[in-house]
Amino acid sequence: MSGDFLRAEGELDSGKREELVRLYLHISLLPFASLHFSLFAAPMSSPFPLLRLPGLVLCDVFRSLNIGEKIQLSIYSKKISTQINNCRLYSQNVIVDLSCLSHKIRVHSENNRDTFEISNYSDSCKSQNSNTHQFSIACCSVRVISIPKGITLGKNHREAFLSVIRHLLKMFQCKFSTTISYCNSDLYQPTIAMLFDLRMEFKTIIIDLNGSEDRILLWNQISKKLELVEDLVILSDLNLFRYFTPVFASWPQKISIMDSVVFTLESLLACTCTAITHRRSHMKNKDLDVILKNWKAGGLPNLKCLRLDYLMITDDGGHILGTTFRELNGMVIETDDGSKKATIITYAQCIEMSVTPII
């Protein structure tokens, strides 16, 4: 049987190759449970040395693995890690969720069906687990514990965290998501800064602008590169204005703001996002009138959806586009050049506007 595996690439038709892949996966993935990876190091005793497979078959084997299997193989064998990179598996798109609070990295497919978790463990976990091994990840020596749907790393949080991220960047086409909260600044600060320096894309960033020195520093680092972010959510302290006023030197695709301290009328008018959500806008009649007139004149050119909550609309606050706030509900307005239209929905102290092009 081993002779079949070692035939030249050109002699294998697609049906035979799929048969070999299924057979080899069944045999080769058995050692994961016990972490006996001698098979992948191609020992003389193994009748199916992985690295002696024809290159085309080898690539098919790697492509047939799920995310977790690829990560584990690449960690446990440098040679196989090189082969995985040679097979250009890094073209696979994955979402990497970074949890600096719980020291976890969750890697999953875009449809979330294939997922794998990497986390740090405590000393007590280390002492109770016999499946602990020492491995090198991106030139960083870390301890690894095998678990059913993930791996657990040693206690050096920062070094291991950064090393694993660098390793994942070599394997996959990564898009990141993270929440930057009130703690673990020593971990997220270098991590997020490194990813922005590498111009990595982010699916979601939730950041708490609490006015602390490290948070101000981080904001100043990333605010010039927000075009790398698909969805930015900003939380803030009500007293934030006492510490600093955030400057938007660039814009994400979508933005959600939770307080008017961060996002003023001037900020909104300068915004180039496709979707703007302002949860506590506190905007008055005249502010809303300015926004809608600005849009009609060609402002907010990328806008597709606008939502403003917690307005401060009053009956005697003046007209909005020549009418009352209540009468805006259901109204359809157009830009002055006739290129776009917007449907307005109002309720309580909230307004939503959906923009579509006019064909």
Q: How far apart are CA 334 and CA 88, in angstroms?
A: 48
- Residue 334's SS3 state is strand
In a domain, 344, yes or no: no
Asked whether residue 9 is assigned to any structural domain, the reply reads yes
Residue 135 pLDDT more than 80?
Answer: no
pLDDT of 139 reads 43
Q: For residue 166, with 0-12 CB atoms within 10 Å meaning exposed, 13-18 middle and 19 or more buried, which class applies?
A: middle
Give the residue carrying structure tokens 């950041």.
Answer: 207
What CA–CA distances, in Å, run from 273 to 126, 264, 299?
46, 15, 12
User: Helix 185-197 vs helix 213-222: angle between axes, to the nearest 10 degrees?
Assistant: 10
Please give the structure tokens belonging to residue 301.
Answer: 């050119």
CA distance 235 to 180: 10
pLDDT score of 15 more than 60:
no
Determine how many CB atoms are found less than 10 A away from the CB of residue 315. 9
Tokens standing for 55? 């290159």
Q: Is residue 177 part of a domain?
A: no
Domain count, the chain: 1
**DSSP letters of 171-216?**
HSEEEEEEEE-SS-HHHHHHHHHHHHHTT-EEEEEEEEE---HHHH
> How many Cβ atoms are within 10 Å of 195's Cβ, its own excluded?
23
In a domain, 48, yes or no: yes
The domain of 11 spans: 2-64
| pLDDT tens string 99-114 | 877 778 899 999 988 8
Do 196 and 222 meet the contact criterion of CB atoms below 8 Å apart? yes
Give 252-269 as a DSSP string.
Answer: -SEEEES-TTTS-HHHHH
Q: Please report which confidence band the pLDDT of residue 14 belongs to, taking 50, 70 and 90 as the band edges.
A: low
60, pLDDT greater than 90: no
**Phi/psi of residue 272, nearest 5 degrees:** -110, 15
Q: CB–CB of 132/145 below 8 Å?
A: yes
Q: Would 18 be classed as within a structural domain?
A: yes
pLDDT single digits (tens) 235-273: 887 666 666 778 899 999 999 998 767 788 999 999 999
Write down the pLDDT at residue 69. 80
- CA distance readout (Å), 33 to 28, 40, 63: 11, 14, 21
For residue 332, the cross-strand partners are 343
Backbone angles phi, psi at 252, to 5 degrees: -80, 180
As a dihedral over the C-alpha atoms of residue 36, residue 40, residue 46, residue 49, rounded to 10 degrees, the angle is 170
**Residue 128 located in a structural domain:** no
Q: In angstroms, how far is CA 275 from the centroid of its own chain?
A: 18
78 CB neighbour count, 10 Å cutoff: 12
Percentage of residues of the chain with pLDDT beyond 70: 67
**The pLDDT value given to residue 287:** 96
What contacts 226, CB < 8 A, 6 or more positions away?
232, 248, 249, 250, 251, 252
Give the integer Cα–Cα distance in Å for 247 and 141.
Answer: 40
Give the model confidence (pLDDT) of 271-313 as tens digits: 999 999 999 899 999 999 999 999 999 999 999 999 999 999 9
Summarised one tens digit per residue, pLDDT across range 302-347 is 999 999 999 999 988 789 999 999 999 999 999 999 999 999 999 9
- Residue 31 falls within a domain, yes or no? yes
Write the CA distances from 22 to 12, 15, 89, 114, 202, integer angstroms: 14, 11, 19, 19, 35
Is 287 contained in some domain?
Answer: no
C-alpha to C-alpha distance for 133 and 306, rounded to whole angstroms: 52
| Structure token pair of residue 196 | 């922005």
* Residue 294: predicted pLDDT: 98
Strand-strand pairing, 104-108 and 93-99: antiparallel
pTM of the predicted structure, to 2 decimals: 0.79
Tell me how crowded residue 44 is: count the other CB atoms within 10 A of its CB: 6
State the average pLDDT for the chain: 77
